[in-house]
Amino acid sequence: MNEIKFNVPLQIRESTTNVKNFLNSKLPPHGPGKNIMSIQREVNKKFNFKDVFLTNSCTSALEICALAIDLKSDDEVIVPSFAFITTASSFARAGCKLKFCDIQKHNLMPSFKDIKKCISKKTKAIILVHYQGYSINFLHELKKFCKKKKIFLIEDAAQAFGSYLKKKPLGSFGDFACFSFHETKNIHSGSGGMLVVNNKKFLKKVRFIFDKGTNRFLMNSNKIRYYSWVTVGSAFLMTELAASYLKPQIKKINTIIQKRSRLHNRYLNQLDKISKNNFSIPKNLNSKYNFHSFVLILEKDVREKFLKFLKKFKINAVISYTPLHKSEAGKKFFKKKKKLRNTDIYIKRVVRLPMHNSLSYNQIDYICKKIQVFFSKGFKK
Ligand SMILES: Cc1ncc(COP(=O)(O)O)c(C=O)c1O
């Protein structure tokens, strides 16, 4: 068997054709142009996301949120320690304090209690990561709670494009939601992202921040003659060229997710049988989701041996996040005496198996067989 890559960026024929057509059209590659507008229309139609900004990464979308809510040095932002670096750094760079919260084993996301433990009078925002494209089941309650306490809820939906909680798409709960179209995601533009602004109060300000801190959108709609600098912003826009690659994938999102669901189930059917006492598989019950990744939670002290064993057979499985509250930059926000018990335990046990649309059933069967061998014979604690 040839090497099995952890990720192969999605490439569909329609994307290549659309990029070629776009380049041949000689339209300005910067944009925004018809590809960006078409994506905005499509996500509006599919998910009812009304105010959508296509960005050059999910990190940019998070940074826009941090600028929009105007964080002060005394403000606190709650973030799971089990998260991507920029989930936290996008807010830290705005000068506020971070409060890292713990997670639950069954879904690797915080419980309501984990979040409430971090609330104080200074809490300005809660950042919720929809890990694996899964959803916590108390999102409606959390939204109500945030509204009552005047705390902003920001969904880090980097991995969650196409996922739901019951019938409501992830990305429609928070004041803001940030998606990633990085090449490791289900659909992508190389690097790319999307900000959904659900809290209308911020729309005008986000428009300024998004376009380098200028009021150019007022000039574009003939409200002013020349644009100028009005607030702190940056160059966050996705280019039209990148959007021309992404657009056909948005149109085909259901087919892309269906393929992933078949791959996911192929894994599940084989691994569920051998998981007992060896590992657990976090599941997303009751809601439609996007099958972004396939995660195992191993027992204590197994991970290094497990990854090495798979590597011997050219299977590239990977770990997930490293703990932010213990990182060089993150630990200054974290009191030494505090403990994030589950994060400390499970962060060392998470493994992500290869998952991408080019994966074959053959490859999955091979991976599962090797995992079975590891637990039945090869592995000694
Ligand atoms: C939860 C989460 N947030 C944010 C990001 C950053 O996304 P991007 O690379 O599009 O900036 C990632 C990247 O994988 C992520 O997993």
The confidence score (pLDDT) of residue 298 equals 96
Which atom number of ligand 1 is nearest to the Cα of residue 131?
1
Phi and psi at residue 222, in whole multiples of 5°?
Answer: 60, 25
Closest alpha carbon to 9 in 186, 178, 161: 186
Extract the tokens encoding 356: 């991408």
Determine the distance separating the centroid of ligand 1 and the alpha carbon of 223, expressed in angstroms: 36
The C-alpha atoms of residue 11 and residue 110 are separated, in whole angstroms, by: 34
Index of the ligand 1 atom closest to the CA of residue 180: 10
Q: Which class would CATH give 13-251?
A: alpha beta
CB-CB neighbours of 282 under 10 Å: 20
Is the separation of the CB atoms in 214 and 207 below 8 Å?
A: no
What is 253-378's CATH number, 3.90.1150.10, 3.40.250.10, 3.10.450.50, 3.40.718.10?
3.90.1150.10
Q: Which atom of ligand 1 is nearest to the CA of 83?
A: 1
| Segments in the chain below pLDDT 70 | 378-381
Ligand 1 centre distance from Cα of residue 224 (Å) = 36
- The pLDDT, as a whole number, for residue 203 is 98
Residue with CA closest to ligand 1 atom 8: 58
**Sign of the CA dihedral with 74 first, then 155, 12, and 264 last:** positive
Q: Please report the pLDDT score of residue 377 as a whole number.
A: 75
What distance in Å separates the CA atoms of residue 55 and residue 179, rounded to the nearest whole number?
9
Ligand 1 atom nearest the C-alpha of 185 is: 14
15 CB less than 6 Å from ligand 1?
Answer: no
Distance 268 CA to ligand 1 centre (A): 25
- Sequence ranges of the domains in the chain: 13-251, 253-378
Ligand 1 contact via 83 beta carbon (within 6 Å): yes
- Separation CA 279–CA 305 (nearest Å): 14
Q: Which tokens sit at 2?
A: 């040839």
3-state secondary structure the chain: CCCECCCCCCCCHHHHHHHHHHHHHCCCCCCCCHHHHHHHHHHHHHHCCCCEEEECCHHHHHHHHHHHCCCCCCCEEEEECCCCHHHHHHHHCCCCEEEEECCCCCCCCCCHHHHHCCCCCCEEEEEEECHHHCCCCCHHHHHHHHHHHCCEEEEECCCCCCCEECCEECCCCCCEEEEECCCCCCCCCCCCEEEEECCHHHHHHHHHHHECCECHHHHHCCCCCCCCECCCCCECECCHHHHHHHHHHHHCHHHHHHHHHHHHHHHHHHHHHHHCCCEECCCCCCCCCCCCCEEEEECCCCHHHHHHHHHHCCECCECCCCCHHHCCCCHHHCCCCCCCHHHHHHCCCEEEECCCCCCCHHHHHHHHHHHHHHHHHHCCC
Pocket test residue of 65, 90, 182 for ligand 1, highest count of atoms within 8 A of CB: 182
Task: List, in order, residues 6 or more apart from 185 with CB less than 8 Å away.
Answer: 158, 159, 161, 292
Closest atom of ligand 1 to 193 CA is 10
Which residue among 56, 57, 58 is best mutated to probe the pocket of ligand 1, counting the most ligand atoms within 8 A of its Cβ? 58
Write down the pLDDT at residue 31.
87
Ligand 1 centroid distance, CA of 160 (Å): 11
156 CB within 6 A, ligand 1: yes
Q: Does the CB atom of residue 86 touch ligand 1 within 6 A? A: yes
Q: Is the CB of 240 under 6 A from ligand 1?
A: no
